[in-house]
Amino acid sequence: MGVKYKWKAGTKMEYAYVICPKCWDKLIEVEKDEELSIYEQRRCPNCGTRFGLALLGENKIDSSVYKVIIKKKWGWDQKRTDIISKDLNRAHFDVEPIMESINNGTQGTIIYEGDILHIYLFECVFIGFESWIEFEIVPRFPYKIFHPEYFLCPECGAEVISRQEPYDRIKGWFLDGLFCENCNEWTLGPTAIRDPTTYKLVFTHKNVENMEDNSIKREIMNCLENVVEKEIQGDQMIINTNSEGIIEIASYLGDAGYTYDIDPPFPHKID
């Protein structure tokens, strides 16, 4: 679970910190890629949830105190107040003074002061609300922020999984996102993405050559002309192309009654 980050050789020393995305109680330092991978498989002793990457930066955590200042605010209403209040409470904040400062504050109002852990939690609570309120953190917050809470279902709290499935509306594409198997619902996304795999299509080329001239044969030959990576071995045509190209050619071969093989296993529907 979590965002995978690879330390780059020859760069400055970087420190990563993981957190339990349910308890939100402490940041745990990890210094090596291997150690981060191990920690992302470990579970919180309090609730059993897996740790996830929270912060990444060039400095060790210290006792610095940061101020959160209103930069812009517009369209803030009771609905958003209720949502933020609930999330602040879940992250163990003293909700009332923060919400009072937000509701009554204007540009330049200091609404919160806290250490690195609590500034991180504050940022997590307000993610997605940038259209209604923006903050400035002083001094500048020196860490890249990650969001392991995305790997928990907001409805039931169960751990979600990364999921890809064929997208029927765009042939050869996937739907990609995070999915809760308990609720049987997407929790993040899904978004439509291209299938990045190059597939190998093998069929008997002489079958196509010996076909009588008709629209199917012409479509197959037109498709083959557009394929860059192809070769004939014996009586076999071998094509390497993307999923969209495979679907187009294989569908015509199927219409002609010819068999073919695709490697690796093809996840998309061929009409």
Q: Is residue 181 domain-shared with residue 113, that is, in the same domain? A: no
Is the pLDDT assigned to residue 62 strictly greater than 90?
A: yes
Is the pLDDT assigned to residue 102 strictly greater than 60?
A: yes
Higher-confidence residue of 2 and 164: namely 164
CA distance 196 to 170: 14
Contact 224, 239 (CB under 8 A): yes
56 assigned to some structural domain: no
- Classified as helix, coil or strand, 65 is coil
Mean per-residue pLDDT, 10-17: 72
What's the pLDDT band for 209 if we cut at 50, 70, 90? confident
Q: Is residue 173 domain-shared with residue 215, that is, in the same domain? A: no
Question: Where in the sequence is the domain holding 131, given as residue range(s)?
Answer: 66-142
The percent of residues in the chain predicted with pLDDT above 90, rounded, is 61
pLDDT at 4: 43
pLDDT at 13: 67
Q: Is residue 125 domain-shared with residue 73, that is, in the same domain? A: yes
Q: What is the mean pLDDT of the chain?
A: 89
Contact 153, 187 (CB under 8 A): yes
pLDDT at 1: 42
Contact 202, 261 (CB under 8 A): yes
b/e per residue 40-71 (b: at least 16 CB within 10 A): beeebeeeebbbbbbbbbeeebeeeebebbbe
CATH number at residue 231: 3.30.70
Look at the chain and report how many structural domains it folds into: 3
Mean per-residue pLDDT, 118-126: 95
Of 62, 71, 56, 58, nearest in space to 116 by CA: 62
Higher-confidence residue of 222 and 3: namely 222
Mean per-residue pLDDT, 19-30: 91
Q: Is residue 180 domain-shared with residue 221, that is, in the same domain? A: no
Range of lowest pLDDT (29-38, 96-105, 119-128): 29-38
Q: Give me the residue label for tokens 């002793």.
A: 45
Higher-confidence residue of 149 and 175: namely 175
Is residue 196 reached through a cis peptide bond, with omega within 30 degrees of 0 on the bond before it? no
The residues, any chain, with a CB within 8 Å of residue 68's CB and separated by 6 or more, are 110, 111, 112, 113, 114, 119, 122, 135, 136, 137
pTM of this prediction? 0.67
35 assigned to some structural domain: no
CA distance 152 to 65: 29
What's the pLDDT band for 192 if we cut at 50, 70, 90? very high
